[in-house]
Amino acid sequence: MIVVIVGPTGVGKTKLSIELAKRMNAEIINADSMQVYKELNIATAKVRKTEMDNIPHHLIDFVDINTLYTVCDYQKDCRKEIQEISLQKKNIIIVGGTGLYIKAALYDYKFAKEKEKYDFSQFTNTELLALIKEKVPNSNIHVNNRPRLERKLSQIYNNTVNTNEGNKPLYDFMIVGLSTNRDLLYKRIDDRVDKMVCDGLIEEAYDFYQRNIHSKAIKTCIGYKELYQYFDGTITKDEAIALIKKNSRHYAKRQYTFFNNQLSVHWFNVNYDDFNQTINEVYEFVNKEE
Going by pLDDT thresholds of 50, 70 and 90, the confidence category of residue 281 is very high
Across the strands, what pairs with 164? none
pLDDT at 249: 96
Confidence at 123, pLDDT banded by 50, 70, 90: confident
The domain that contains 238 carries what CATH number?
1.10.287.890
Structural domain includes residue 73 = no
pLDDT at 113: 58
Residue 190 lies in a domain: yes
**Mean local confidence (pLDDT), 162-186:** 86
Interior CA angle at 40 toward 12 and 46, to 5°?
A: 20
This prediction has a pTM of 0.82
Total tally of structural domains belonging to the chain: 2
Structural domain of residue 216, as residue ranges? 184-249
| The pLDDT of residue 210 is above 80 | yes
C-alpha distances (whole Å) from 219 to each of 34, 66, 227, 255, 280 are 11, 11, 10, 19, 39
41-49: average pLDDT:
95
d(CA 40, CA 266): 30
Is 229 part of any domain? yes
Q: Domain check: are 151 and 198 in the same one? A: no
Distance CA 226, CA 252 (A): 17
